[in-house]
Amino acid sequence: MLRVRVPLTGGSVDRSYDVVVGYGAINQLESLVPDGTKRIAVVTQEGIPSGWALPTFDVETYFIGRGESSKSLATIETLTRGFAEQGITRHDLIVGVGGGMVTDVAGFAAASWHRGTPVVHVATTMLGMVDAAIGGKTGVNLPEGKNLVGAYWQPSGVVCDLSALSTLPPRETRCGLGEMAKYNFLTGDDLLSMDLEQRIARCIEIKVEIVAADEREGGRRALLNYGHTLAHALEIASGYQLAHGEAVAIGLIYAAELAFELGRVEQARVDEHRRVVGEEYGLMATPPAGVDIDELVRLMRRDKKALNGLTFALDGPDGVEVVNDVDEVAVRTALARFVQ
């Protein structure tokens, strides 16, 4: 079992917390419950591994719907009305048990309930463990767009019990691996030499280090969007047939191709991206046939991170960094090499 300490000492109060990673980590959940908690509201979904208990607390379980359409203000209203009935106060605890969708919803419910009630995340997907449950971003969707309503709200602790991953559908595993592959390029760490427990713990540390460098989106946090500029465009262009993590895998290779096109990296680094994504993680490394380059370029220009023209996180002599105003000709040339 590994414990990653997330240091959050920036404000007037020390909000540092622990992430427990390992098989059976759920047994450490009680150690993350803040002192003084009496009632616990567990937010989860049908089909997510349960079978653990917190017998010394007044626990109610709230099941929310699956899929992005349930990541909504309507769900927040239903949940918080439940909290009212249960008598949850801001000295109690919300526990989100699930993938990123659940922890985003539970986190936002906690951020708004009595203007801020502690939350502990129990991440049960690989993406949740290495990404969504860490970093304090919470929120819900509107019909107008994803994650438009939200808040920064740091958890009091996070559990990543690797046993939960055994029931994860293969596609969800692939999505988590796409996001995990990204971390292989953000530092010099040899993540592939580590076992799964160490690797997940290290991915969490890397995310935490980057997020700590600027807690609100700004400079370094954008590095976590490595591979994401093309990924977002591919998700939309495929009518969401490609899931986020699958699109990220392709986006990582494209980012390397584009960095090569711009003279920022050697061919060997592109080959390394292909090997890590395609062979080590076994992910699809080329876009689906028939995607249209003009449409991808148009979508990438509209990306919410693209304040200055075409913006990418790109590898280079100093590692991955954010590059604004990338030359459209290079973007198209790298795409043309890549798209069939």
Interface segment toward ligand NAD; rule CB under 6 A; list 55-63, 119-127, 212-220, 270-278 = 119-127
**CB closer to ligand NAD out of 201 and 270:** 201
The single residue among 20, 26, 41, 49 that binds ligand NAD, judged by CB under 6 A, is 49
Does position 127 interact with ligand NAD (CB under 6 A)? The reply is yes
Does position 106 interact with ligand NAD (CB under 6 A)? The reply is no
What backbone phi and psi angles, to 5 degrees, belong to 181?
-60, -35
Does position 242 interact with ligand NAD (CB under 6 A)? The reply is no
Does position 130 interact with ligand NAD (CB under 6 A)? The reply is no
**Contact assessment for residue 166 and residue 113, using Cβ atoms and an 8 Å cutoff:** no
**Contact assessment for residue 60 and residue 90, using Cβ atoms and an 8 Å cutoff:** no
Total site size for ligand NAD, rule CB under 6 A:
27
d(CA 320, CA 6): 23
Does position 161 interact with ligand NAD (CB under 6 A)? The reply is no
- In sequence order, what DSSP letters do the residues of 39-86 get, joined into one string? EEEEEE-TTS------TTSEEEEEE--SSGGGSSHHHHHHHHHHHHHH
Compute the Cα dihedral for 334, 335, 338, 340 and give only its sign.
negative
d(CA 13, CA 156): 13
State how far the alpha carbon of 39 is from the alpha carbons of 80, 107, 223, 335, in Å. Answer: 14, 17, 38, 53
**CB closer to ligand NAD out of 104 and 261:** 104
Interface segment toward ligand NAD; rule CB under 6 A; list 1-9, 100-108, 291-299, 308-316 = 100-108
**CB closer to ligand NAD out of 172 and 303:** 172
DSSP state of 130: I
Binding mask 170-199 for ligand NAD (x = CB under 6 A): --x--x------------------------
Q: Which helix (H) or strand (E) holds 178?
A: helix 170-186
Does position 42 interact with ligand NAD (CB under 6 A)? The reply is no
**CB closer to ligand NAD out of 212 and 330:** 212
The nearest distance, CB 279 to ligand NAD, in angstroms, is: 23
d(CA 55, CA 70): 29
Contacts with ligand NAD by CB under 6 A lie at 45, 47-49, 66, 68, 71, 98-102, 104, 124-125, 127-128, 131-132, 135, 137, 147, 164, 167-168, 172, 175
